[in-house]
Structure 1
Amino acid sequence: MDFRLTEDQRALRKGVRELLARRFDREALRAAVDSGGLDRELWRELGAAGFFALRLPEEEGGVGLGLPEAVLVFEEAGRVLLPGPLVATHLAAGVVPGAAEGEAVVTAADGGLVPWLDEADVVRGDAEDAVPVRSVDPLTPLHRVREVTSTDDRLVAALLTAAEQVGSAGRTTDAAVSHAREREQFGQVIGGFQAVKHLCAGMLVRTELARAAVWAAAVTGDPVEIAGAKLLADGAATGNARDCLQVHGGMGFTWEADVHLHLKRAWVRAQLWLPAARAEEVVAAHL
């Protein structure tokens, strides 16, 4: 099976990366951390760009693309830590009025957690008894619900969340390599030390393995492959963020560095839609 991107897919990925670089750069990321709120103007811009309506049929006003293209788009969102209930709103396009256009923010109760409940216009699932919980990620406010519900789109949601994790894993790999090329210790750049080389190489392997699994699952749509892809992507995002912290040394643990934001978001994403315990059960049952 040929997993090389088509020219249209490469153009889509490039366009989304350029849009996010223009509208959600590091300054905007830090502003979002400070404010703790959702940028409704950016949300509408994403809607106008087709982010939420990407898989909606053209006759229904959507872009008419498939799950492989959606995976590419969500990977780019993960790279920049774009906040908000992106997956739930994307899945609600064509079902909830205004979701496709970015006029409505939609969240969902799944797995016992509800992200961005206070900012959402619509909640899919039962969140009547939701109570706020302290989130480790400053960009993902959370509520917990007593009843664990599952939506029909859980597997697709898990795959798109895995794509975000892959994007984050790729971004922390790039950050570690860039820092290793610039930071000097004992008269040479730290990238010249074998231990640092091994860390960076391991990060790249994790990222590419998870990316291959996510892309493959997007093509096949197989539930077992999606569960395996989520496991690999969660491991890549959290593992790479930890190793990126190690490469950065003491400065990596400071609030000013962005590495901790990737680690915290990876922890939260790992608990959404298809947490490790459930994903492992899916894979184990198949085996």
Structure 2
Amino acid sequence: MRFQLTEDQLALRAGVRELLARRFGPQELRAAVDEPGRLDRALWRELGAAGFFALRVPETRGGVGLGLPEAMLTFEEAGRTLLPGPLVATHLAAGTVPGAATGEAVVAAAGNGLVEWLEQADVVRGDVAGAVPLRSVDPLTPLHRVPAAGTVDPVAVLLTAAEQLGGATRTCELAVQHARTREQFGQPIGAFQAIKHLCAEMLVRTETARAAVYAAAVTADPADIHSARLLADEAAVRGARDCLQVHGGMGFTWEFELHLHLKRAWVRTQRAGEATESEEALAVELLAQPI
């Protein structure tokens, strides 16, 4: 099966990438890190005006009228740029929560015992009674723990996987770029076998995850979605770690964006039922198949 993007899908991805590059570039990312817990409401409304949240809402209800594959592509770009905020929760609420589709309302959701961006949310879906603030490893994702685990929406799992894929793609790009330009002993470090292997393994994991995530967006099959989530989690976390190895000491510096990719990848692995729940759901699906 081939998953060739259409011209419209390519244009959508290019448009989202251009918007995010213009509105959430390196300077805005650094500003967000310096002010943890603050959500850029102007950017949120601009995302709403661009159709980010209303992408899957039917045109008859004021939405864009596209499908899950297009939503997956937009969330891949969001993950690539480390765009902060409860993106998945607000996207899922578009069409049912007033203001969510246009970005006028920020929506948070309780899931897996965690809530992202609770204090900034205008609307909270799920039981958040007894919520306790946590010290998040990711400065761009404030967290609260809640007693109730909540239900897991398969679309939330897929969109989380798409964000992980975007992060894996970005860290792979960073590693290759550094391997080409950083020199040791009179030649680029990319010429050394150990660095070649790291970059090659990052690429293989990323492209394997891409095939799985794209396929799951087309089939919307629960087993495909959980498989994609597991592969995307691995690509994001291991990719960020390997990218750190390629960069050496520079990769650990606070000013460099790489540590943020690793921390965000860790946080995403705890979202939408965790990897463990995806493993269990996938096992149930596989055991139910006839031999």
- Structure 1 length normalisation: TM-score? 0.98
The match for 1:164 is 163
CA contact (8 A) 1:85 1:107 kept: yes
Whole-angstrom distance in 2 between the partners of 1:128 and 1:84: 21
Q: 1:283 Cα shift?
A: 1.1
The residue type paired with residue 57 of structure 1 is: P
Whole-angstrom distance in 1 between the partners of 2:156 and 2:284: 21
The match for 1:48 is 49
Residue 257 of structure 2 corresponds to residue 258 of structure 1: yes
Q: 1:2 Cα shift?
A: 2.8
Whole-angstrom distance in 2 between the partners of 1:175 and 1:135: 25
| Structure 1 unaligned residues grouped into runs of 5+ | none
Q: 1:147 Cα shift?
A: 1.5
The match for 1:204 is 203
SS, match of residue 108 in structure 1: strand
The residue type paired with residue 100 of structure 2 is: A
Q: 1:52 Cα shift?
A: 0.2
The match for 2:31 is 31
The residue type paired with residue 272 of structure 2 is: W
The match for 1:269 is 268
The residue type paired with residue 239 of structure 1 is: R
Whole-angstrom distance in 1 between the partners of 2:282 and 2:85: 29
The match for 2:149 is 148
Identity of matched residues, %: 73
- The Cα RMSD (Å) is 0.7
Whole-angstrom distance in 2 between the partners of 1:161 and 1:286: 20
CA contact (8 A) 1:113 1:144 kept: yes
The match for 2:76 is 75
Whole-angstrom distance in 2 between the partners of 1:194 and 1:121: 52
Q: 1:128 Cα shift?
A: 1.3
Whole-angstrom distance in 1 between the partners of 2:7 and 2:150: 39
Whole-angstrom distance in 1 between the partners of 2:195 and 2:186: 15
The residue type paired with residue 234 of structure 2 is: G
The match for 1:233 is 232
Whole-angstrom distance in 1 between the partners of 2:238 and 2:192: 20
Matches for 1:103-142 after TM superposition, within 5 Å: 103-142=104-143
Tell me the number of residue pairs that the alignment of Structure 1 and Structure 2 aligns. 285
Q: 1:167 Cα shift?
A: 0.3
The residue type paired with residue 246 of structure 2 is: V
CA contact (8 A) 1:230 1:274 kept: no
Deviation per residue, 1:84-119 (Å, 9 max, x gap): 000000000011000000000001000000000000
SS, match of residue 212 in structure 1: helix
The match for 1:220 is 219
Deviation per residue, 1:184-223 (Å, 9 max, x gap): 1111110100110110011111111111101101111111
The match for 1:187 is 186
Q: 1:262 Cα shift?
A: 0.0
Select between 41-50 and 183-192 the one with higher mean Cα deviation. Answer: 183-192
Whole-angstrom distance in 2 between the partners of 1:93 and 1:276: 26
CA contact (8 A) 1:181 1:189 kept: yes
Q: 1:179 Cα shift?
A: 0.5
Whole-angstrom distance in 1 between the partners of 2:268 and 2:65: 27
The residue type paired with residue 130 of structure 1 is: A
Whole-angstrom distance in 2 between the partners of 1:219 and 1:258: 32
Whole-angstrom distance in 1 between the partners of 2:273 and 2:235: 16
Whole-angstrom distance in 2 between the partners of 1:90 and 1:148: 20
Q: 1:129 Cα shift?
A: 1.1
The match for 2:289 is none
- Structure 2 length normalisation: TM-score? 0.97
SS, match of residue 124 in structure 2: strand
Whole-angstrom distance in 2 between the partners of 1:271 and 1:41: 28
SS, match of residue 109 in structure 1: strand
Whole-angstrom distance in 2 between the partners of 1:9 and 1:159: 18
SS, match of residue 213 in structure 1: helix
The residue type paired with residue 117 of structure 1 is: L
SS, match of residue 133 in structure 2: strand
The residue type paired with residue 100 of structure 1 is: A
Q: 1:256 Cα shift?
A: 1.3
The residue type paired with residue 8 of structure 1 is: D
- Structure 1 residue ranges (4+ consecutive) displaced by more than 4 angstroms after TM superposition: none
CA contact (8 A) 1:166 1:210 kept: yes
Q: 1:285 Cα shift?
A: 1.3
The residue type paired with residue 233 of structure 2 is: D
SS, match of residue 28 in structure 1: helix
